[in-house]
Chain A
Amino acid sequence: MSILKGYENQKRLVYIMLFILVAIPYFKPIGLPVAINDYTRDFYDTLVEMPEGSTILVHYGFEAGAWGELESQCVSVAQHLMKLPVKVIFCSTWGMGPPFIERTFDYINVGSKVYGEDYINIGYIPGWETGVAALANDFHSIVSVDYFGDSIDGTFLDDVNDGSDIDLVIAFECGSAGSGTFRQQYQVPFGTPVLSGAIGVIVPGVVPFYNSGHISGILASVRGGAEYEILTKNPGKGVVGTDVLTFAHVGVIIAVIIGNIIYFRERGK
């Protein structure tokens, strides 16, 4: 068969296979069970155990690119936060991060929470790590208005002055600024616990800090999002996404095996 001849054609077959495999669950989901990781459970427990009235800083460390991977985490965590007796500050040091905070709210039900009293979106914080440092040292030096340009005076942020007023940081991350930045700027000076919601690529880099106790819990990629949806009994996009993982992962394994068979047969000749 001529279509199987040559690497370029075989490569295209691999591509077509991936397109088809990933599309299948959209038309026919299978819904395999998902086991819960320790990291995910610790993430959940940390949130559930927050004392009433705690202030939590949620950081969106990504833009459009990683939204596909972190969406299920952000939505399920935000939904969970709205059910807990805590106050939440949303922010992003990524230029195009804040619109995704708003997008998260499109998908969740805030219940009895009131904007400005229980939660707030302070939008974009410029300067990457330097911005986070400024936020930790003197909150009001860098934030005076929220995402919508309204003054933050009179909101619960009046009681937030520096890192010591933040009881927990949740960093959704796909690189810098991420949980590492918050570890350095919040945890080292103020002892604030940090949770990480990470894309798959950087999970192994976060695990050492989880094991050394510097990160209190991790959500790993879309899988972590799905596990969190299951823990909070709020199934959503993450659970559907895990079907896609099954198909795409099995697909690449089969491709590699076929590649090896061809390779060793040709070498045998």
Chain B
Amino acid sequence: MAWYKRREISMGLTSLVILIFLIDFNLDIPTLKAVTNNLTTWGTVIGAFAIGLGYINMYQHYGRKVQRKTPGWPYALWLVIATTVVTLVGAWQGRTGDLMTFFYDSFVGPLDATFYSIAIFYMASAAYRAFKFRSVESTILLTCAFIMLLKNAPIGEVIWPGFGTIGTWLMNYPVMGVSRGITLSTTLGSVALGLRVLLGKEYSYLAGTGERKE
């Protein structure tokens, strides 16, 4: 393999950049600050370019449905048309143009908000189906959930002011402890991964960039 095709070069690049960020954070060197700012912007631009990777696949996926006339293909056709139109308008007008604002306000915005809100129904039916006083853990979960539901609704404290007190206590003591335990554990995981990447021991993110045996 030619030397410039070696994986180690890109891994070295990764380590170098991480080190620059760490040094910049701990020492106040103006040149380094400018470098990290530039690198940060670059990361963003690369991410923006990468969007095409998924975009192409999405087109292929729905395009194939139309081509093969699989059941439900008219919906896929509508998707392809809608995507193409909005993409072209977006390229022409930019994100803040009149038509784009219309598409956002009339379609994307309400659809996004509605899907976000639909979770309430799934939560209610999940609670109805599964919240049963049948095991220790489900009883704990259910009791705490009831207390919080009553704490958060004004009626809870009208019925009994204790709901507010207990609910706040649960948030401030046991739940805070658990959140803290999880934060500590997760931080360890992230730092460990960071170290592996920094030391060039973790390179699974490079999968698929090597020479492939067919």
Q: Which residues of A contact B (CB under 8 A)?
A: 7, 10-11, 14-15, 18, 32-35, 37-38, 63-68, 95-96, 99, 126-127, 130-131, 133-134, 137-138, 141-142, 189, 200, 203-205, 207-208, 211, 221, 223, 242-243, 245-246, 248-253, 255-256, 258-260, 263
Contacts and interface: CB of A to CB of B under 8 A. Distances in A.
Interface residues of B, number: 54
A137 B153 contact: no
A126 B33 CA distance: 18
Contacts of A251: 124
Contact of A11 (B33, B128, B152, B153): B128
B172 A256 contact: no
Contacts, number: 144
Interface in B90-139: 95, 101, 104, 108-110, 112-113, 115-117, 120-121, 123-125, 127-129, 131-134
Contacts of A33: 154, 158
A138 B116 contact: no
A64 B121 CA distance: 19
Nearest to A98: B96
Per DSSP, are chain B's interface residues mostly helix, strand or loop, or mixed?
helix
A32 B154 contact: yes
B129 A259 contact: yes
Contacts of B40: 127, 130-131, 133-134
A133 B37 CA distance: 8
Interface of B: 25, 33-34, 36-37, 40-41, 43-44, 47-48, 95, 101, 104, 108-110, 112-113, 115-117, 120-121, 123-125, 127-129, 131-134, 142, 146, 149-150, 152-158, 164, 168, 171-172, 175-176, 179-180, 183
Contacts of A203: 171
Which 6 pairs show the lowest CB-CB distances between chains A and B?
A65-B116, A127-B44, A32-B154, A249-B153, A64-B109, A130-B40
B144 to A, nearest CB: 11
Contact of A141 (B37, B171, B175): B37
Nearest to A22: B120
- Among B133, B153, B155, max chain A CB count under 10 A is at B153
24 contacts: A34-B154, A64-B109, A64-B113, A65-B112, A68-B116, A68-B117, A127-B43, A127-B44, A127-B47, A130-B40, A134-B37, A137-B33, A137-B37, A142-B37, A208-B180, A242-B153, A245-B153, A249-B149, A251-B124, A252-B128, A253-B150, A256-B127, A256-B128, A258-B128
A63 B132 contact: no
A189 B24 CA distance: 11
- Among B47, B124, B134, B175, max chain A CB count under 10 A is at B124
